[in-house]
Structure 1
Amino acid sequence: MASPPIHSEAFQSAALRSERFRILGMLGFLIAAAIIVGLRHLTTDSAVEQSFVLKVAGLIVLLAVYEAQILRVVGRNQLSGLEPPVWLWGVNLIVETSFPTLLLFLIATGSDNGPYSALVAPGILLYPIFIILSTLKLSPRLCFLTGLLSTGGYLLVVVFVFSTTEAPEFGVYSLPLYMTYAATIFLSGAVASGVAGQIRSHVVAAMKEAETREKMERIKQDLNIARTIQQGLLPESMPTVDGFQIAGWNKPADETGGDYYDWQAISNGCVAISLADVSGHGIGPALVTAACRAYARAAFPTVSSIGEEMDKINALLVEDLPSDRFITFVVAVIDPATSQIQLLSAGHSPLLFFTAADGKVENFAAHGIPFGLMAGIPYGDPQVIDMAKGDMLVLITDGFTEWMNSDDEEYGEDRISEVLQDARDLTPAEIIVRLYDAVREFGSGVEQADDLTAVI
């Protein structure tokens, strides 16, 4: 029967709005009752009846003034955001449930129809009306107490009438009938309590849903900001290197991703191009990529030994990353003077090299373990590649090769090689578009599951 307290500003605000609506309904009912009583006063010639009607009118005015004051209190609490004191609801409950009882006492003591008429008078209907309005309190306990006090009030009138007046001979004025009325009033309170509980639960569920939506919107907004920041870390353009055409592209699977590519000019006139793939995708890997990028940018501008710099980056990431995170990383240092590329991979593959002379695609193996797994294992010297006209070095993440179709078949490196061979005469940017279109067509509507990054 008792409902647990809900410590929520949103629920408190909803409860106060509901209480305000209930009081307005009560005032509307009292105004209608005052009009009816006024009409009755105008249409009766009995002095006793007129005196009775005036007493009823006074009772209505007193309750209306009281409800207006409660309405002011509720309004102030709505503006301040404070919860009304608990004792106020108790006083309010007693005052409102006393009104029908006092009305029946007035009928029993001042009506021309006699005391027993009070026990079957239309005024009894005020009890269920007030009980119905009590459901807007959103408190099953208060609804039940309203029914209980209303029942007690009616029984008090019954006891008063039976103890002070002899029952008439009419069979309609029988005790079982009055007990039936009392039981009906009590059941009305019990039913209202159940209804209030359901209303309360629906209000709470609606608030939780609204709060969840609000949180999701905030998360979505934060992710959009993170995506904007992360995309801002990617190069706006690729470097211009004599004798080379270079293009890069990135498309995360979520708002944020775990892939990135970057390039830097080195002091010896070379250009270092890097690509990394953090395990997983989403906001966590996005933060890891930012750290990896920062370490790489700090290491390569004045590089003397690519292997030694890779050792330093790995040692830092081993300290930073949790045990379930690692990064595959590759750097390609382009020397336009010699048309050579120094390539060194920390666990990253595929590393595809297309040779224009024979039209073949070779997949180089990684040169060391991924970053973040273990420190102290040197990466050694880089692999040196002599580039000829038409040759291509293709660095891509496994989002391309592992894209599956509806039959759970991966796209694979062989299909990548076929695309490269067919697109050999296109520019690097056009080849990347061709690769992306090919894997999407292969997926046959299967959504992108992993981040995609490519540098050619």
Structure 2
Amino acid sequence: MATNRLTDFQLLRLKSERLRAIGMLMVLAVVSLIGFYNLLFASESRMGLGRSILYAVFVFAFFETIYLLVVRNAIKKKKRIFVFLRYFESVIEGLLPVAAMAMIMDVGDNPFTVLLSPAYSFILIIISASALRLTPRLTLITGLLSSVCYSTLVMRVLYVDSFQHLNPHPNNLYIFMSMMLFVATAVMYFITRELRSYVDVAVEDMALQDELELASEVQKNLLPSPLPKLEGYDLAAFSTPAKHAGGDYYDLVTPNPRQAIFMLADVAGHGIGPALLTVSSRAYFRAILGEHQKISEIIERVNQLMSCDLRAGQFVTLTALVLCMDTHTAKYFSAGHGPTLIIRKKEGTVERLEAQSIPLGIDVPLKMDPPIKFHFAEGDIIAMFSDGCYEGKNDEDDTFGIDRVVSLLKENQDKTANQIIKHLQEAIIEFTGRKSQADDMTMLLLKRLPFEKTA
């Protein structure tokens, strides 16, 4: 369906047009001062010149002001302006300066002096400013009209008998000045083409940024938010992509009120490609969850499907935790992902859970060891996270490391899950010196609450 709304490029072009029109009006203001000077303070013979300058400036300024108002209104309402108006304005700009020079000649001024007057510089300014239209064709129209009209005026002066006796300069000087306008037109035409190519790239980049932001928003909306309340447990999570969209994700499904399945996955790489794969892998898990009861069967089926989606060298690491809230027991599965940390409150120890198989998408069928089973005691914490949480580097090229993650978890284990994650994020930022994030960072943290806090 046709629309009158502006594209990104059209909006940029209108803003450039506005800048050009404002600049032209400023130049006209200076020219008008010259006209007033000739009208008020110069000799009587120069008063006619002053009037001619002011007439020309008034006509030019009138058209330029109207055009500026139209452009500003179009920018404000984000609407297009008529194409013929842009071409008409180009024609006016190309014709008026030379028409003004012809008018000055008609009031009796020396025509050779007029050809060398500041009006010639004004023509060059108009040709140069036409590049701000960002349309090579309009630059060509403005420049050629100015050049042809000025050359016609030169021919008229040089070859009309009544003017020849006034010529104080060699004829080739005026021909050279005519040629300079043609050269300036050609130069500005190619400059405008180059500017247009840069603007086109910038517009494409803007469109890409919009698409990436949309992809990022879609990916964020797929994360469970807010996280559900689990009786007897404190849960927190975060996911921060290195770019607009990332290759990490976490998910939480509650097949029944007393069971919860946690998943955290990391697609190799980061950016829009891995982000799309995270969406498909999440969709596979959600769809297959209703078909199989065993998490190992779900992972195997997802591996079969993901193997069809991934190119050579691509893979997905995944960790899954099945929690039974009645018995506070859990089963842990990991396909190439790890380590996952369990912080034991009572014993003051740390357990590292390693992968039981290779990542998804590499081999079919997937050979996975039996799940790791463990009991959740009061105050225990399990932290599932992607490698971006511990592989960040500082200016000395030192790595944040798993040991720092362990220390932070132990130091803050009496705090809430949200507070623990916040401390970890702040520590990573402080360590890396707020450098550009090199990899996606995702963490899912589950803490069993003491009995008195679960009531």
Structure 1 length-normalised TM: 0.68
Partner of 1:149: 152
Q: Is 1:277 matched up with 2:280?
A: no
2:407 aligns with: 418
Aligned length: 405
Q: Is this contact kept in 1: 2:249–2:278, CA < 8 A?
A: yes
Distance (Å, rounded) in 2 between the aligned partners of 1:22 and 1:405: 52
The offset of 1:311, in angstroms, is 1.7
Quick check: 1:408 aligned with 2:397? Answer: yes
- AA matched with 1:436: Q
Q: TM-score under structure 2 normalisation?
A: 0.68
Distance 2:179 2:87 in 1: 25
Which residue among 181, 185, 188 is the counterpart of 2:174?
Answer: 185
* Post-superposition offset of 1:263: 0.7
Match status 1:287 vs 2:289: no
CA apart distance, 1:149:
3.2
Go from structure 1 to structure 2 and tell me whether the alpha carbon gap of 1:191 and 1:363 turns closer, same or farther (over 3 Å shift).
same
Structure with max Cα Rg: 1
| Structure 1: distance between partners of 2:266 and 2:373 | 23
Distance (whole Å) between structure 2 residues aligned to residue 239 and residue 154 of structure 1: 88
Residue in 2 that maps onto 1:126: 114
Q: Is 1:251 matched with 2:224?
A: no
- Kindly report the root-mean-square deviation, in angstroms, between the aligned alpha carbons of the 2 structures: 5.0
Letter in 2 for 1:247: A
In 1, Cα distance between equivalents of 2:388 and 2:425: 10
Q: Note the alpha carbon deviations across 1:65-116, whole angstroms, 9 max, x for none.
A: xx89x969x97x995213649x979x9599849947984xx97xxxxxxxxx
SS of the aligned residue for 2:362 comes to: coil
Hey, what's the Cα distance between the residues in 2 that align with 1:356 and 1:18?
70
The amino acid of 2:157's aligned partner reads Y
* Structure 2 CA distance for partners of 1:18 and 1:243, relative to 1, 3 Å: closer
Q: Is the 8 A contact 1:224 1:255 kept in 2?
A: yes
CA distance in 1, matches of 2:363, 2:179: 68
Does 2:357 correspond to 1:354? no
Deviations 1:10-30 (A, max 9, x none): 3896799699979989x989x
Equivalent of residue 317 in structure 1, options 296, 299, 306: 306
* Aligned 8 A contact 1:101 1:153 in 2: no
Deviations 1:224-265 (A, max 9, x none): 444333323222244444554433222333333322211111
Tell me the CA shift for residue 218 of structure 1. 5.1
1:386-421 CA-partner distances (Å, limit 9, x unpaired): 333443322111111101121111111222222333
- How far the C-alpha of 1:281 sits from its partner, in A, is 2.6
Counterparts of 2:429 and 2:105, CA distance in 1: 79
- Cα deviation per residue 1:339-390 (whole Å; 9 max; x = unaligned)? 3211111211122233445433232221222233343334354232233344
Question: Among 80, 83, 93, which residue is 1:81 paired with?
Answer: 83
Distance 1:400 1:161 in 2: 85
SS in 2 for 1:263: strand
Q: Which runs of 5+ in 2 are unaligned?
A: 1-8, 72-80, 131-138, 446-455
CA distance, structure 2, for counterparts of residue 17 and residue 216 of structure 1: 27
CA distance in 1, matches of 2:21, 2:431: 57
Percent of matched pairs sharing the same residue = 23
SS in 1 for 2:357: coil
Structure 1 unmatched runs, 5+: 1-7, 44-52, 108-120, 168-172
- The superposition leaves residues 175-232 of structure 1 with CA deviations (integer Å, 9 ceiling, x where unpaired) of 8x442xx233233334445555666677667766666666655555554444333323
Provide closer, same or farther for how the CA distance between residues 193 and 155 of structure 1 changes in structure 2, counting only shifts above 3 A.
Answer: same
CA distance in 2 between partners of 1:19 and 1:445 (Å)? 42
